[in-house]
Chain A
Amino acid sequence: MQRFETLTGLVVPLDRLNVDTDAIIPKQFLKAIGRTGFGANLFDNWRYLDSGEPGQAGLRTPNPDFVLNKPRYQGASILLARGNFGCGSSREHAPWALLEYGIRVIIAPSFADIFYNNSLKNGLLPVTLPDAAVDELFCATDATVGYTVTVDLQNQRVLNGARVIGEFAINAFRKDCLLNGLDDIGWTLQYEADIRAYEARRQKVTPWLFTQVRGNNE
């Protein structure tokens, strides 16, 4: 996982409630078996005028009215969004697509749980700010071309220059993982003995939970 400490970047505003993961990356692009190649199809239905299928990179007609296509927001690394961002399907392709496009931070008043969790595991930082702070940022990104903010994970703050726009909460464990680029599996395996001991206990109490399931491939 990519480490995250501090980022100063251009902010692109996406002024819609309940942006779902089907909108972030439509299903026809979920057939890939790798983790890459999703960035070109981020927000595909909104970003292009023609309908998209896998393998058409470079052949599409961009929708000039969609905010990500506006020249003033090119190179943005911070996405500003509305409430319940990332609702719907659990597809981790959504954070993969955002990251590959170049987004490292999403600022919104609220996030859907699964998306929030998936983002943290990929070094994409979801920042929850109060509605008033988000409204202020929407006004600022509209009023000022090239508006940037700094997201400081260590101090859990969002700043414009030296001015603090808002502070955000983050689980201490997740923060530590992000700051150090730590992988959950490696971390978990240090408790191998605890997991074995748990299994041994449970096997005595609820042996039916350890029944082998069998398919037709054996």
Chain B
Amino acid sequence: MAQTLYDKLWESHVVRELPDGTCLLYIDRQLVHEVTSPQAFAGLRAAGRGLWRADANLAVADHNVPTKDRALGITDPTSRLQIETLDQNCRDFAVSLFAMNDIRQGIVHVVGPEQGATLPGMTIVCGDSHTSTHGAFGALAHGIGTSEVEQVLATQCLLQKKAKAMRVRLEGAAPAGVGAKDMALAVIGVLGTAGGTGYTIEFAGSAVTDLSMEGRMTLCNMAIEAGARAGLVAVDETTIHYLKGRPFAPSEALWERASTAWRALKSDPDASFAKEITIDVSGLTPQVTYGTSPEMVVSIEGRVPDPAQEADPARRTALAAALAYMGLTPGTAMTDIPIDVVFIGSCTNARLEDLQAAARFLRGKKIAPNIRRALVVPGSGLVKHAAEALGLDRIFKEAGFEWREPGCSMCLAMNADRLESGERCASTSNRNFEGRQGQGGRTHLVSPEMAAAAAVAGHFVDIRRPF
């Protein structure tokens, strides 16, 4: 029978199936960070359990790490304790760790692929919902809670029921100035924030095959914002080329065998999906969110919608509450919204290609006087190093951006990088929830190019036009 890519990945990892369809699913790789793992290790200690396969795990601190003055150590005592706890747990349980002083340290979802620790055909989990990122490699990857982190540490398995398969086809050539982030936001706008709940989404179509691995990661990263735990892209030569020579990718001796096996990781031509949608991206415009859910998104050419025009009462209430929180008036043109802060970073958009895209809009320019803070937080030490080799750090700094050390930073504001109440931010991150970037902070999700252009103009601008 014809199989979807999801079917193939699922089937190859079932250790045992129960009569009700719940499966014991084998997990090839677990990525571990400091926020969702301490209670899992504590649970193992309490039960006197060891790790099933220590070498399947890779740990890195990212959520809490400071992004400047690292020589001073971590000043926040609670953050420090959490990171020290990760270090100690990795020592006690022999888990590989990229500590803060390692150039390979960074956001877990940037580090895994960069190291080749993320490989096609794997099942990958992490106690972080943006684990969906790794699906860009034809791997089945999703976020889990701390109880499941503990279970994978102890058994290398999870108990799961198979999700339904959805295919989102993105067809056509994206216009200049429109990229993976805009596609991701547009998909969420169409599906809604719960439209993918219960599904694994395979992204397909010519616009997806045209994307680099960085772009595919951005797309899969935000599958969870449409409710889907996992996003997928079939393996092709772009995938294989990206992985060649990565530190943990298969050695020369195994490369041919591995890459041949990977080429089969795609849906069969006649495979059927429970749900299928197609979006023509040739007419897509740069996207900006206006509300407190990623589905509250419009074109840069659009306006803040009016709750009075919303027919569904629950949605009307939600929209009115969102606009009140965001301090926005219905009917305002998106290009008339002034901003205070710009954040370029996060597991969605902190890879080299993202920084290059932003830098192109900043070369020889300065941020607008009304911008209070503009931050670039590279996704990893290696991204930072590569960007510096290209001189991007100078472009950012000369424009008035701060050039920081790698981490999650202002995407979720667990460290010192956060919005003050009422501050409005053009952010390349993934969530515009109330308080996400700091209590009372107002987040607008955009692409790196759009964030850079907004920094220069002081308000959102349509990057397809001169400004």
Chain A residue, CB-CB nearest to B414: A27
Contact with A along B127-161 (1 / 0, CB 8 A): 11101000000000011111110110011110101
A33-B82, A91-B36 known; A22 and B434 CB under 8 Å? yes
CB of A171 within 8 A of chain B?
yes
Q: Are A84 and B193 in contact (CB under 8 A)?
A: yes
Q: Are A110 and B194 in contact (CB under 8 A)?
A: yes
Contact with B along A158-198 (1 / 0, CB 8 A): 00000000000001111000000000110111010011001
* Contact pick for B147, options A32, A82, A118, CB 8 Å: A118
A22-B434, A88-B433 known; A212 and B55 CB under 8 Å? yes
Q: Interface centre among B47, B142, B155, B321, by most A CB within 10 Å?
A: B155
Contact with B along A204-218 (1 / 0, CB 8 A): 001111111111111
B contact residues around A18 at 8 Å (CB): 193-194, 293, 318
Q: Are B49 and A185 in contact (CB under 8 A)?
A: yes
CB of A141 within 8 A of chain B?
no
Q: Are A213 and B248 in contact (CB under 8 A)?
A: yes
What bracket does the count of chain B residues touching chain A fall in?
A: 35 or more
Q: Are A90 and B128 in contact (CB under 8 A)?
A: yes
CB of B335 within 8 A of chain A?
no
Q: Are B431 and A88 in contact (CB under 8 A)?
A: yes
CB A62 to nearest CB in B, in angstroms, measures: 16
Count the A residues whose beta carbon is within 8 Å of the partner chain — how many?
Answer: 66
Chain B residue, CB-CB nearest to A176: B20
Q: Are A195 and B157 in contact (CB under 8 A)?
A: yes
Q: Are A114 and B143 in contact (CB under 8 A)?
A: yes
A83-B194, A217-B90 known; A188 and B157 CB under 8 Å? yes
CB B190 to nearest CB in A, in angstroms, measures: 16
Kindly state the separation between the CA atoms of A48 and B413 in the bound complex, as whole angstroms: 19
Contact with A along B1-12 (1 / 0, CB 8 A): 000000000000
Kindly state the separation between the CA atoms of A163 and B95 in the bound complex, as whole angstroms: 54
Q: Are A17 and B436 in contact (CB under 8 A)?
A: no
28 intermolecular pairs with C-beta atoms under 8 Å apart: A20-B293, A22-B435, A35-B42, A54-B78, A84-B194, A87-B194, A89-B412, A90-B128, A114-B143, A114-B145, A122-B147, A185-B150, A188-B24, A188-B151, A191-B24, A195-B155, A199-B53, A208-B251, A209-B122, A212-B55, A213-B57, A213-B58, A213-B115, A215-B59, A215-B96, A215-B97, A217-B96, A218-B94
A-B residue pairs, 3 tightest by C-beta? A215-B96, A118-B145, A92-B145
